[in-house]
Chains A and B, each alone.
Chain A
Amino acid sequence: MSAPHFDELVHQPHRLRICVILSAVEQASFQALCEELGVSMPTLSKQLRMLADAGYVTTDKRPSGTRPATWATLTKKGRAALQGHLAALRELADQAQ
């Protein structure tokens, strides 16, 4: 269990959803993430780049059909940030009750 730590980068809804999805799987394709989030490729790219710059996500290209597909993975640092952030959110929600 991670210590509660509010993370502004993870808190943005799209990035939070990306982190939650990636925390449950080993890897997710760009296409699958676009569909899950209901966003365009450029929007997803931008959010993933921000997470990658912080060291929360890594991406790699794999051959898939006629052109390579991009796959994203949550790093250990990203997983810890997400767990800490969710713990902080739970604390905040509990305080409100």
Chain B
Amino acid sequence: MADNFNARDALATAADSRRHLAHRLVTPIWYHPLVGVTLFMLCCAIGMPEGRLGRKTRLLMIMGATLINTLLLPWLYRMRTGVTMQQATGTRSRRFFLLGMIPFAAVFAPAGANYLLDGPTWVPLVLGAVALIGSIVFGRSYDNALRTDLREGVA
């Protein structure tokens, strides 16, 4: 059985490990802009009015963006950091993640409506730009929340 001194040492060791890990999980600078570009592609593919974008191009854009987001980016992150993360396991990061989903849904819904109503070309471009900038700003805030959760031992 450990004595009290050892218990404190062990707790300090655990906290130190979490701090080190949080330091390791700094997302590369290109990660969120790349996510933003894929969201821009999705917005355009979903929202461009008929005639402005061919069916095949639309499909390729959706498939490309989906593959980059679900396969390429997680693989690059795994290779770079040596870990795979569960999404938003801490209180702060989970709250951030859920709140972040609302504006993204709010961007894709009008893009889809623009396609159905055969609206102007600039609408998906503007919505895509909002998604791109939003993903950079939100992504960095989410990463900070995740690392704070890790350091505090709630992730």
Contacts and interface: CB of A to CB of B under 8 A. Distances in A.
Contacts of B5: 96
Contact of A36 (B24, B78, B86, B89): B24
A27 to B, nearest CB: 5
A92 B9 CA distance: 11
Interface residues of B, number: 28
B32 interface: no
Contact of A20 (B2, B18, B89): B18
B14 A26 contact: no
Interface stretch (A11-19, A39-47, A50-58): A11-19
B57 interface: no
A13 B10 contact: yes
Interface string A23-39: 01111110111011000
B91 to A, nearest CB: 14
B123 interface: no
A95 B13 contact: no
B71 interface: no
A9 interface: no
Given A21-B21, A24-B150, A32-B24, A96 B83 contact: no
B13 A29 contact: no
Given A93-B7, A93-B8, A26 B81 contact: no
Given A28-B82, A86-B11, A92 B4 contact: yes
A88 B68 CA distance: 44
B79 interface: yes
A64 interface: yes
B10 A89 contact: yes
Nearest to A18: B17
B7 A36 contact: no
Which 9 pairs show the lowest CB-CB distances between chains A and B? A32-B82, A96-B4, A92-B7, A29-B82, A25-B83, A20-B17, A26-B84, A89-B7, A17-B17
Given A32-B83, A64-B79, 13 more contacts: A11-B10, A16-B10, A24-B18, A24-B150, A25-B83, A25-B85, A25-B86, A26-B86, A28-B82, A31-B82, A71-B84, A89-B7, A90-B7
Interface of A: 6, 11, 13, 16-17, 20-21, 24-29, 31-33, 35-36, 64, 71, 86, 88-90, 92-93, 95-96
